[in-house]
Amino acid sequence: MDQFAEVQSHDAENIALLCPNHHQDKTSRRLSADRVNEARHAPFNAQRSSTTPYGLTAARQVRLLLGSNEQFVSLQEPDYPVLWINGVSFVALHFEGGYYTFSAIITDEAGKLLLTIDHGGLTVQTDVFDYRYEGAQLSVRKALGDIIFDATVSDALFAVHRGAFVDRFETGIFVRPDGSVVFTMSGLEVGSLAGSR
């Protein structure tokens, strides 16, 4: 592989996708070009169903928004389910040692798992077409230009602007870009919620 600094061009056959940690290692010369090239031909995540968790830092306070619906919780228990569908906690808040983390199960509209956040550990399914986590903006696309999940995710904020939380029975909620929340049962729309606290 030719280094970008030398060739100043982005050619597909000369690109290796690296996680932020390995990119830093490569930039700092702690990871050899030979090892990057080897990983390029046998990607680590190609043999796995999900990525290694990325850890969000715990916070003193967490704000949860599903569309224009905001959840305020003063926890007395270590775990608080925020969104519960057919016995499964799709969004939960956790409190331990004076700090909060959160969990979420994000799906597509048919209930196929896209990503999870487990006590602040973000994991993405490796068969997802594309996901991007830049700054605090997290998005998932199922095709070019087709965003199916869009959220602001940090240690103290989980704000879903578009997305689905649907179980295997196709029961759950969709957060629409206009901030509304639509309820579905067996894949059929059964109601909506404009915004509340």
pLDDT confidence of residue 122: 95
Task: Assess whether 28 and 107 both reside in one domain.
Answer: no
Q: Which of 31, 33, 30, 35 is nearest to 4 (CA)?
A: 33
Query: Residue 112 and residue 42: Cα distance in Å, rounded?
Result: 26
Task: Let me know the angle formed at the C-alpha of 47 by 36 and 10, rounded to the nearest 5 degrees.
Answer: 35
For residue range 131-152, what is the model confidence (pLDDT) as tens digits? 999 999 999 999 988 999 999 9
Look at residues 45, 30, 42, 32 and name the one whose alpha carbon lies nearest to residue 3: 32
Q: Are residues 118 and 35 part of one domain?
A: no
| Mean pLDDT of all residues belonging to the chain | 88
What pLDDT, on the 0 to 100 scale, is given for residue 197? 46
CA angle 152/153/155 to nearest 5° reads 140
Residue 194 pLDDT > 70:
no
Tokens of 108: 């597509």
Among residues 55, 158, 57, the alpha carbon closest in space to that of 104 is found at 158
Give the least confident one: 7-11, 96-100, 118-122, 180-184: 7-11
Reported as type and span, the H/E element at residue 105 is strand 99-107
Q: Is residue 74 part of a domain?
A: yes
pLDDT in tens, 51-108: 888 899 999 989 999 999 888 776 777 899 999 999 999 999 999 999 999 999 999 9
- Does this model's pTM top 0.85? no
Q: What is the pLDDT of residue 181?
A: 93
Query: Band of the pLDDT at 195, cuts 50, 70, 90?
Result: low
Distance CA 84, CA 81 (A): 6
Phi, psi of 36 (to 5 degrees): -65, -45
Q: Structural domain of residue 11, as residue ranges?
A: 4-42
Question: Between the CA of residue 89 and those of 98, 103, 108, 145, 146, what are the distances in Å?
Answer: 22, 9, 16, 30, 27
Question: Same structural domain for residues 25 and 87?
Answer: no
Please tell me whether residues 13 and 86 are part of one structural domain: no
In a domain? residue 179: yes
